Chains A and B, each alone.
Chain A
Amino acid sequence: MSVAIAVARTRDLFAATMLTGIYSLLSAGFFVVMDAVDVAFTEAAVGAGISTLLMLTTLKLTGQYESSSRPLQRIALVVISVTAGLLFYGFLDMPIFGDPAAPIHQHVAPRYIQHSAEEVGMPNIVTSVLASYRGYDTFGETVVIFTAGIGVLALLSYVRSREDVSQAALAPMQPHIILRIVSKILIPPILLFALYVQFHGDYGPGGGFQAGVIFAAAIILYAMIFGLDVTLKVVNPAVIQFLAALGVLIYASVGIVSLLSGHAFLDYSVLGHDAVHGQHWGILIVELGVGITVASVMLVIFFNFSSRVDKNQDSHS
């Protein structure tokens, strides 16, 4: 709460960015307290990790301080207070937190808790709900990520001419030897950890979304320390775009296979020799699709933002 107020008050955008990172980390803590470990994981990876990085990249373009100080907007304050008041009014009748008799624990959830082990066969119920019972929503979310990538590509991408590449400045962090060595030590375990999160989602907290973000974070870290051009030699932007589309198609292909075998879209039970086995395969493949799309879209966003930074610097010098 106080962090949020500090974000709203400060004129220093760098500080604001850092504070939002802290805010995300704190809310991740809240989620852990509320037993939503998977959500906490995502919040920590996306909110505190990637989005802070992206905002920092943007700051490099815009400068550190807000340009003009605007007067306090009284109408906005009134509107927000009314909205918040309404929300609290609504909370008056709500069931007490953790009350086992609350409707959310009585209607749909019991089946997930009691039968998902035999129907889907996953120890992690969150994964069962996310990837199987409500797998179509997750497909939609993957497409949302893909859409975000398309948005960035459509608005920010530009074709780098050969001159740009040859004149590209040295990476800004090149002289910092400690950073270079530490990141060299850290990057391989981060990549490995991403793969672990990817494939361990069936059993513990994790899955494609978190893994994709962590994987992308490792590459972004490399790009920040060793420079964009070195990274682009390894990670070809055209390939990344291809992968972003491929991830969505991998997810969709599972659905198409079940359609072609006469079942409903995304019915995984046809994939294996029995229904539970099919669910295993289905979830493994769709999580892979999610991971690929998420990681590629994160990279697409980062590359396009930061090549704008490079372009601007070139034109200034």
Chain B
Amino acid sequence: MLAHLPVLQVIVPLIAAPCCLMIRSPAVVGRFVQLATLATLIISLGLVREVLEQGVLSYALGGWQAPWGIEYRIDPLNVYLLVLVSLLGTIVIFAAPTSIKSEIAEDKQTYFYVAYLLCFAGLLGILATGDAFNVFVFLEISSLSSYTLIALGQDRRALWASYQYLIMGTIGATFILIGIGLMYMMTGTLNMHDLATRLDNVSETNTIFTAFAFLFIGVCLKLALFPLHLWLPNAYTYAPSLVTAFLAATATKVAIYILLRFVFSVFGAEFSLTYLPVREILLVLGLMGVVFASTVAIYQTNVKKLFAYSSVAQIGYMILGLSIGSAAGLMATLLHMFNHALMKGALFLALTSVAFRLKQTNLTNMAGIGRQMPLTMAAVVVGGLSLIGTPLTVGFISKWYLVLAAIEQGWWPLAFVVLFGSLLALIYVWRIVETAYFQPISAELSGVREAPVGILVPMWVLVLLNIYFGIDSQFTVSLSELAAHSLYLEGR
């Protein structure tokens, strides 16, 4: 059965989804979904072991060898992200049975679970596959289901936010499809590994430049790179809190993965980073993203929106790591992808419990909440410290490696911008801390109690992971180092 782990990783949640529709009862479905995600997590850990022992795993779907059939190809890069997505997807869904009681109507809960599983499976499918068109198919599954999940938000504006995301996401997906189509036209293959070898002969044609441009812009739309991030703040703000926690932790990371996969494994680092001015573009956009989005975050009154803008800024850091153009920079990017998922997962789950009690997440209504919901707000504080990059949290690890990578190249100004970004993060996190702990309790909060255990446990698991991986970063650092070096080797 071990040989089948690559495909089981994706089809377990994918097949569990229609089963949920047959079970129907939300309570039973909830437990069933938790089991399915837990199984996925175990499979992903099994895959890590296999990859570390045997190197790259290849799985021929339908028994047809690539490039005629579709291949699943698991290497250090995607196994690292498979663990990330399954870990976060599993922890977050354990908060669902409690949380959605207050946020989603009872007759829609089963559909919520089905869409969640589909989105989860879609993201895993994008990660596992070694076939360019298969990426698009699973991108469609994850996108369609995330539009649904966002639109399930109680606020009427959720529909509009989801529609905005739908339009932007569809443009992005179409661009990706055009890019893949053009590449197919010039090479006659869809398998990524095969594409990489065959692209060398045709890499200096207009068609391949165009393919790269469309693919690049399409992916940047999906990963919400500044200034293509406009869909993100509203989508994160008005979606059900749990959905925000899930999407913020996983979806943009997977989009960045697509970018890395095409830039390094398909087009090759030589072509995309040296021949084309991609590094310069990414550097400028990453810097603007960090400074601009962090500044906007300071002025937000809705805490969900505040952290959504902070997510745009954090994506900027990941892109900066990529733009440094060395294995160390790429490693910083990969580390920050994992670590940011842990931070935002914890923070948005904390907001889930705030929303569970208060029915909204406006900062003005949260005065003095630290005394009423001590465990929740403590989670926000730890998550916030991690976001700033305080030592002993994961945020420190990723910023440390990013600054090291920048200094290694002699890019001192970049190191200063990273620290300046942390300062901005300190300001917006402090605003929440100040309101929650140092302002007198407002009258309407007097009866509010701590959130139920169902949300507190998954939230604190994530908070503790933030601290654990901040102290013992061996797992993340060694895997991301392996992935970064193998990507740079592939490019040669």
Contacts and interface: CB of A to CB of B under 8 A. Distances in A.
A133 B64 contact: yes
A140 B144 contact: no
B60 A264 contact: yes
Contact of B19 (A103, A133, A245, A269): A245
Contacts of A249: 15, 18-19
Contacts of B107: 157-159
A75 B205 CA distance: 29
A104 B195 CA distance: 12
B455 interface: no
Interface stretch (B109-117, B245-253, B284-292, B360-368): B109-117
Q: Say which size band chain B's interface belongs to.
A: 35 or more
Given A93-B205, A103-B185, A136-B62, A147 B18 contact: no
B61 A90 contact: no
B278 interface: no
A103 B182 CA distance: 11
A87 B64 contact: no
B198 A244 contact: no
Contacts of B138: 140
B134 A106 contact: no
Contacts of A17: none
A267 B185 contact: no
Interface in B51-81: 59-64, 67-70
B137 A141 contact: yes
Contacts of B63: 258, 263-264, 266-267, 269
Contacts, number: 178
Interface residues of A, number: 59
B188 A133 contact: no
Contacts of A135: 61-62
A90 B182 contact: yes
A90 B62 contact: no
A158 B106 CA distance: 11
Nearest to B178: A87
B141 A265 contact: no
A268 B141 contact: no
B322 interface: no
Interface stretch (A53-61, A148-156, A178-186): A148-156
A95 interface: yes
B115 A104 contact: no
A147 B64 contact: no
Interface in A74-101: 86-87, 89-95
Contacts of B67: 107-108
Contacts of B213: 86
Contacts of A158: 107
A51 interface: no
B4 A134 contact: no
Contacts of B148: 147, 150-151, 154-155
Contacts of A90: 182, 206-207, 209-211
Contacts of A106: 188
Contacts of B187: 103, 107
Interface string A132-172: 11111100110110111011011101110000000000000
B414 interface: no
A146 B111 CA distance: 12
Nearest to B144: A147
A311 interface: no
B118 A264 contact: no
A316 interface: no
A245 B111 CA distance: 12
A62 B302 CA distance: 32
Given A147-B148, A264-B59, A264-B63, A104 B14 contact: no
A137 B206 contact: no
A266 B189 CA distance: 21
Nearest to B159: A155
A283 to B, nearest CB: 11
A104 B184 CA distance: 7
A269 B69 CA distance: 14
Given A133-B68, A137-B70, A94 B186 contact: yes
Contacts of B14: 143, 252
Contacts of B70: 134, 136-137
A105 B188 CA distance: 7
A235 interface: no
B145 A242 contact: no
B11 A265 contact: yes
B62 A151 contact: no
A295 B159 CA distance: 27
B207 A154 contact: no
Contacts of A103: 185-188, 198, 202
B140 interface: yes
B267 interface: no
B41 interface: no
A147 B137 contact: no
Given A90-B207, A150-B148, A265-B11, 18 more contacts: A90-B210, A93-B207, A102-B185, A103-B202, A107-B187, A132-B64, A133-B62, A133-B69, A134-B70, A140-B134, A144-B144, A148-B144, A151-B115, A154-B112, A154-B148, A249-B19, A264-B62, A265-B61
6 contacts: A86-B210, A90-B209, A107-B198, A136-B134, A252-B18, A259-B7
